[in-house]
């Protein structure tokens, strides 16, 4: 079975347009209940801070209860917090209402199984196959019940703190924390404060419409300026649903997901904590791969999407993986990407090594990499469009072994991503622009 609605991170779209409507959310809950818990059970629902979250929360609650499932509502909480609570509270499934790094007028719905892991492609396809059926309403004696979980934030906060050594303190560190006006706006500052850090919070005043607005991991400029301005040791940027993290060093320089993987992998290898290969994606910087291999660390590439990084980690026995965007997975700590937990692991390395983030990240040479996003009206077959393939072939021939070209359709937006990487920035930019122009010309009107 194929998936048409589910992308790399659930179902996502503009609120009020199919599929992001209240009516669709109700049918989706009914279909998911049939696939995930056909004999009834419990589902946990959380969300980020978008104003539309209230509507989708109510629609999903109605659909699950009507299908005979009990519902636990936790309100705004990071996506990895929902995964954690789904597992620890013994729910059969978890649901997150979020469009992650997208603007507030988008929203999305994604699922976890009872183990706190994202659903397989096959399971998502099975849910899609049921969407043509009308929503089920069982007789009164078989309806589910709904209740709010009052201590959800404290439970997740305690878990995050438990992922660092009991004797580790962050006293002496001044940290700017940018929560993107999103789901982590309460829990992230509290975790850092309880561990002893002096914090400067920004992006922690959500109003339902300012999530990811000129802040967070997709717009780190404010964090860079603030970190330098208040003379902080570093800055931490989360995205709207808290599963991504980027950092900023004391000089205001951005430290991306590849560099954070380098910091963790090199430290863990030295301490004997690293197991199996480190897993990145097709978009991971070539400097990360070469740097790790120079240390004798195996590096593998998965398809883009943290779910595929997780799959490859499990196949190979690895513990550490992630994406350039900051989706990092510390599999010995969590079952999914967790921005706050990943940041805490980096802070551990900083405290234990006595070195700054700038020093640690500087150990990895980054190859110039250009990413051009080409917006298209509809998906089309990139692999069978001759002008595009000719442009890619020209670029690959010119780069030879000195670089890479990656061309792919986004799984979450109507966008074609063109990535070119090599030793010379001007060459990389020119080749990326050439391929992007061929995509624009060949895209269906």
Q: Looking at the annotation, which residues are catalytic?
A: 100
Specify whether the CB–CB gap between 176 and 230 falls below 8 A. Answer: yes
Specify whether the CB–CB gap between 379 and 297 falls below 8 A. Answer: no
3-class DSSP state for residue 201?
strand
3-class DSSP state for residue 238?
strand
- Angstrom distance (rounded) from CA 290 to CA 299: 9
Query: Could you tell me the two tokens for 332?
Result: 């010995």
Give CB contacts under 8 A, 24+ apart, made by 21-27: 22/55, 22/56, 22/58, 22/59, 23/59, 25/55, 25/56, 25/59, 25/60, 25/63, 25/109, 26/59, 26/60, 26/62, 26/63, 26/66, 26/135, 27/63, 27/131, 27/134, 27/135
- Residue 350: name the closest of 161, 196, 173, 159 by CA: 173
Segment holding 290, helix H or strand E = helix 286-294
β-bridge pairing 41-47 and 93-97:
parallel
């Amino acid at each position: 079975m194929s998936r048409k609605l589910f992308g790399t991170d659930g179902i996502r779209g503009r609120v009020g347009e199919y599929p992001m409507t209240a009516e669709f959310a109700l049918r989706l809950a009914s279909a998911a209940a049939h696939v995930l818990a056909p004999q009834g059970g419990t589902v946990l629902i959380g969300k980020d801070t978008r104003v539309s979250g209230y509507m989708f929360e109510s629609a999903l609650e109605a659909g699950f209860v009507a299908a005979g499932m009990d519902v636990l509502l936790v309100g705004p909480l990071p996506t990895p917090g929902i995964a954690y609570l789904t597992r620890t509270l013994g729910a059969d499934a978890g649901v997150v209402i979020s469009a992650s790094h997208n603007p507030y007028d988008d929203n999305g719905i994604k699922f976890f199984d009872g183990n706190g892991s994202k659903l397989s492609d096959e399971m998502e396809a099975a849910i899609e196959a049921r969407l043509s059926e009308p929503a089920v309403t069982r007789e009164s004696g078989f309806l589910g019940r709904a209740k709010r979980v009052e201590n959800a934030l404290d439970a997740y906060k305690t878990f995050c703190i438990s992922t660092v050594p009991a004797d580790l303190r962050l006293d002496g560190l001044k940290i700017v924390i940018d929560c993107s006006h999103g789901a982590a706006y309460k829990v992230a500052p509290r975790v850092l404060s309880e561990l002893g850090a002096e914090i400067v919070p920004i992006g922690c005043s959500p109003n339902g419409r300012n999530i990811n607005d000129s802040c967070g991991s997709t717009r780190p400029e404010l964090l860079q300026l603030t970190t330098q301005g208040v003379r902080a040791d570093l800055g931490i940027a989360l995205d709207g649903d808290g599963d991504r993290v980027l950092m900023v060093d004391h000089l205001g320089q951005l430290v991306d997901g590849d560099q954070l993987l380098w910091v963790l992998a090199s430290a863990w290898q030295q301490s004997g904590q690293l197991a199996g290969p480190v897993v990145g994606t097709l978009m991971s910087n070539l400097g990360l791969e070469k740097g790790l291999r120079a240390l004798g660390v195996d590096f593998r590439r998965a398809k883009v999407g943290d779910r595929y990084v997780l799959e490859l980690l499990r196949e190979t026995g690895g513990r550490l993986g992630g994406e350039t965007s900051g989706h990092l997975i510390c599999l010995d700590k969590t079952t999914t990407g967790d921005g706050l937990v990943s940041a805490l692991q980096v802070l551990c390395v900083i405290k234990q090594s006595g070195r700054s983030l700038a020093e640690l990240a500087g150990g990895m040479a980054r190859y110039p990499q250009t990413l051009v996003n080409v917006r298209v009206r509809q998906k089309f077959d990139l692999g069978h469009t001759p002008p595009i393939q000719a442009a890619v072939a020209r670029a690959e021939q010119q780069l030879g072994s000195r670089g890479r070209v990656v061309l792919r359709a986004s799984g979450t937006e109507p966008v074609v991503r063109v990535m070119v990487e090599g030793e010379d920035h001007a060459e990389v930019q020119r080749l990326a622009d050439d391929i992007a122009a061929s995509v624009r010309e060949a895209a269906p009107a």
